[in-house]
A and B are shown apart, each in its own frame.
Chain A
Amino acid sequence: MLAPVVVVLASLGAAACSSPGGHPAVQVAHDFYAAVEAHDGTHACELLAPQTRHELESTAGKPCPRAVLEESLPHARGRGHLERFGNQAQVDLVGDTVFLSEFRDGWRIVALMCTPRGAQPYDCQVKGS
């Protein structure tokens, strides 16, 4: 009976304590900002979740690679503090908090340019509908 508890504890412990710098979700957040800094809008858009990409295009009225480079994105950096539960993750960088979800082809950003609002959801400038 204790075996399932140990398995759950071990898996969740691994989720909470995994090295944040090496986690794919953190890597995606870093890659996104690296792509933006390199003015590679195409690659930056590949790292956005489908709904987020669609919302960005709808709001800007232009293709994602152009729209994403025209956003007033912060200069986010740092190792990043990771919180991951199941298929959802939050990466706190210096300058931005990014929310990600795991899809078949890897972790993708669902919201960015997020600022905390206490108990309310983060106010995110870019997110899916």
Chain B
Amino acid sequence: MSTRRFRTFLHENSLSLAFGALFLAALAAQALAGVAEYNDQQIADGLAHVSVAEYVTSSDYAVDVAENWQSEFLQFFLYITATIWLVQRGSPESKPVGEEGRGTDEEQKVGAYATDETPSAATLGGLTARLYARSLGLVMGTIFVACWLTQSIAGWATYNEERLTQLRDPLSWPGYLASADFWSRSLQNWQSEFLAVGAMAVFSIYLRERGSAESKPTGEPDSVTGVSS
């Protein structure tokens, strides 16, 4: 890849590349902060230190990562699917009022309305086309379930490690699923995601961020629903 093509690649993918880099940096920093916190507790309990390598393969790190991942993917899964049917007048995050639902083939550019540029999966028909038409929500939902399952297992191990340190009997996995710890970890993340989505839907009616794809154009009236730029 020539230097010019590489620069073009960086420019055209700057949003995903920037967030990918931020993600990796934050994940690494979380590991460093997490191992320091973990070892601080180990000192208090008179137990052995762990290395960074041991910590990042521990259930303690896994549950902290998974509980945040699951809530983020739940947020996007719900937002993607809820905005099929629910609307918010004036919000650029919403379809116009009255256009709720899956839309017609003409609006969706499928079936008889497919063009040469329509993705091949959308033109095959049958189950493939139906799955493709729901693939964004399906993938987000699947990742949410996988991360929540991971949280439940890693959280179970971490919680039981703590219980054994406290000289208490460990819980079974089903017992952990009914525990306050599991639901506290889940709900504390969910409530913040729901707040952020709701705030974005409402704030974006009245507020603007000039140049942002997530905002209406600055001069767009508050009453206009959806992005018209």
Contact = CB atoms under 8 A, between A and B. Distances in A.
A8 B60 contact: no
B11 interface: no
A88 B38 CA distance: 14
Contacts of B153: 5, 8-9, 12
Interface residues of A, number: 35
Contacts of A1: 142-143, 146-147
Given A1-B146, A5-B149, A9-B153, A86 B60 contact: yes
B157 to A, nearest CB: 5
B157 A15 contact: yes
B150 interface: yes
B59 A85 contact: yes
B222 interface: no
A87 B154 contact: no
Nearest to B62: A8
A12 to B, nearest CB: 5
Interface in B161-188: 161, 164-170
Interface in A85-123: 85-90, 99, 101-104, 110-111, 114, 116, 119-122
B160 interface: yes
Interface string A4-24: 110011001001000000000
B17 interface: no
B64 to A, nearest CB: 13
A4 to B, nearest CB: 6
A35 interface: no
Contacts of B47: 49, 87, 101, 103, 110
A63 interface: no
A88 B60 CA distance: 13
B108 interface: no
A89 B167 CA distance: 10
Contact of A90 (B48, B150, B157, B169): B169
A79 to B, nearest CB: 19
A12 B146 contact: no
Interface string A47-71: 0011100000000000000000000
A122 B60 CA distance: 24
B52 interface: no
B168 A121 contact: yes
Interface string B119-149: 0000000000000000000000011001101
B173 to A, nearest CB: 9
A57 B164 CA distance: 24
Contacts of A124: 167
B158 A102 contact: no
B50 interface: yes
15 contacts: A1-B146, A1-B147, A4-B150, A5-B146, A8-B154, A83-B164, A83-B170, A85-B157, A87-B47, A87-B50, A101-B48, A110-B47, A119-B168, A121-B167, A121-B168
Given A88-B160, A89-B164, 10 more contacts: A1-B143, A1-B147, A2-B146, A5-B150, A12-B59, A83-B164, A85-B158, A111-B167, A120-B168, A122-B167
